[in-house]
Amino acid sequence: MTLKKLIVFMLAAALSLVLGSCFLLPEEARMPELPAVTPYDGSDFRYTRVIRGDMELKKTIQCTYQATKEAKYGFSVSGERFGDIFVEVGDRISAGMLLAEMDVSDINRQIDECENTIRMLEIKLAEAQKAYELAVLSESLTGSGTAMSDAHLDFISYTKQSLEIQHSRLSELEEKKKSRQLFADIDGVVTYVKSISERSTTVRGENIVTITDDMSRVFVADTESYKSFPEGLEVDILSEGVTYRCKVTSPDKLGIEEIGNQKRSQWLQRVYFVVLDAQTPEKNNARGEITLIEDKREDVLMLSTAAVFEADGRSMVYVQGDDGSITPKEIETGLRTTGYTEVLRGLDEGDYVIIS
């Protein structure tokens, strides 16, 4: 064997020994698979710097400005013709005002007849009382008997009894008419009116008019973060470009009863916010937003969240070495927001990491 062939054989044996040893690493010594980045001069990469500052984890809570008290009005009988509805949506109503009624034309006719009869009887009673007084005077002057005055007295008694009957009948007719009418029992604003036609008839229990007590309007939020809003807490609510200072209150203080301890589901509960400002939203059901600070950090290291990725359950970033090579580096993170991530270990203030 020549010297040249001997040298080639020895090099081949040595190379095969080195390559074979690469496959003899124990399992735990193998590196985890990470996103590969080709070494480059970095001219096409974007960088972000590790900075020091304050962080806030914010959450937006949606709410609605709505009334907590409303009253719905309907008739207790079916099949009766409608008379009229006297209100429209948007009307401001005071307690006691007439809202609607069934057809009461026949009752009105009977009431008119009864009132006319009462007026006639009252005139006859007044005339009979004068005639009685004159008869008594005449009988005292002439010394005649009391037959005339007694007759007038009997007529007076009869007229009074007739008046009592007519007044009683009038009361019955008025009560009957009221039973066919709907009256407001709260102050507020009309928010619903049923549309009717000449042929419309009543349906028992059907809602005809709804009145909302606008003085009871508050912001209402159904939220899983209800524990962050204890009673008495003051918050700012942004609604249609205006910020309102509000305070958390309870259903008891609003005079309403909540079913199920204010729970809307296993996770949601209702929270009420009373507007403290003199100015309040003009529109009912106006939308509002509450910015809730769930967590915060002061004077901490942080970097753009876009630079952090996960690999095998670890937080990693890409850094570029002095030689231009780009390698993944593990870091320990804390609070994370959509914008920034807190750095607890692995980077220093002023370090640069690669975003893309």
What mean pLDDT comes out for the span 126-152?
90
pLDDT of the residue at 68 = 85
CA distance 164 to 321: 110
CATH label of the domain that carries residue 315: 2.40.420.20
Give yes or no: residues 265 and 195 share one domain.
no
Last-in-domain residue among 266, 295, 324:
295
Give yes or no: residues 89 and 204 share one domain.
yes
| 3-class secondary-structure state, position 119 | helix
Establish if 8 belongs to a structural domain.
Answer: no
pLDDT of the residue at 35 = 46
Which residues constitute the domain of residue 325?
Answer: 32-56+296-354
CA angle 40-43-44, nearest 5°? Answer: 90
Domain count, the chain: 4
pLDDT of the residue at 127 = 95
Q: Is 11 a residue whose pLDDT tops 60?
A: no
What mean pLDDT comes out for the span 179-202?
92
Establish if 3 belongs to a structural domain.
Answer: no
Give yes or no: residues 300 and 275 share one domain.
no
Q: Is 219 a residue whose pLDDT tops 70?
A: yes
Q: Is 99 a residue whose pLDDT tops 60?
A: yes
Give yes or no: residues 228 and 321 share one domain.
no
Give yes or no: residues 80 and 193 share one domain.
yes
pLDDT of the residue at 248 = 97
Give yes or no: residues 96 and 188 share one domain.
yes
- Whether pTM exceeds 0.85: no
Q: Is 23 a residue whose pLDDT tops 70?
A: no
Residue with tokens 């975003």: 355
pLDDT of the residue at 44 = 67
Q: Is 175 a residue whose pLDDT tops 80?
A: yes
Cβ neighbours of residue 122 closer than 8 Å, sequence gap 6 or more: 163
Phi, psi of 143 (to 5 degrees): 75, 15
Establish if 338 belongs to a structural domain.
Answer: yes
CATH label of the domain that carries residue 206: 2.40.50.100
β-strand pairing of 340-345 with 286-304? antiparallel
Judge contact between 352 and 49, C-beta under 8 A. Answer: yes
> Residue 283 to residues 64, 90, 93, 191: CA-CA distances in angstroms?
10, 11, 17, 12
Q: In the predicted model, what is the mean pLDDT of the chain? A: 85
Establish if 241 belongs to a structural domain.
Answer: yes
β-strand pairing of 326-336 with 286-304? unpaired
**Encoding tokens for residue 75?**
């008739």
Last-in-domain residue among 295, 315, 333:
295
Q: Which amino acid is present at 142?
A: T
pLDDT of the residue at 13 = 47
Among 280, 294, 277, which residue's Cα sits nearest to residue 239?
Answer: 280
Residues 245-271: pLDDT tens digits?
999 999 988 888 664 444 556 788 999
Establish if 24 belongs to a structural domain.
Answer: no
CA angle 138-140-142, nearest 5°? Answer: 65
Establish if 132 belongs to a structural domain.
Answer: yes
Establish if 243 belongs to a structural domain.
Answer: yes
Give yes or no: residues 344 and 319 share one domain.
yes
Give the sign of the dihedral formed by CA 98, CA 100, CA 108, CA 158.
Answer: negative
CA distance 306 to 47: 10
What mean pLDDT comes out for the span 213-223?
89
Give yes or no: residues 189 and 99 share one domain.
yes
Give yes or no: residues 202 and 173 share one domain.
no
CA distance 337 to 59: 10
pLDDT of the residue at 261 = 45
pLDDT level of residue 278 (50, 70, 90 thresholds): confident
Give yes or no: residues 91 and 223 share one domain.
no
Give yes or no: residues 99 and 188 share one domain.
yes
Cβ neighbours of residue 167 closer than 8 Å, sequence gap 6 or more: 118
- For 254-304, give the DSSP string: HT---TTTTBSSSS-EEEEEEE-SS---SSTTEEEEEEEEEEEEEEEEEEE
Q: Of 22-31, 38-47, 224-233, where does the model show the most confidence?
A: 224-233
Give yes or no: residues 287 and 300 share one domain.
no
Residues 37-88: pLDDT tens digits?
444 454 567 899 999 999 999 999 999 998 888 899 999 999 999 999 999 9
CATH label of the domain that carries residue 115: 1.10.287
pLDDT of the residue at 33 = 44
What mean pLDDT comes out for the span 221-243?
95
Establish if 13 belongs to a structural domain.
Answer: no
Q: Is 30 a residue whose pLDDT tops 90?
A: no
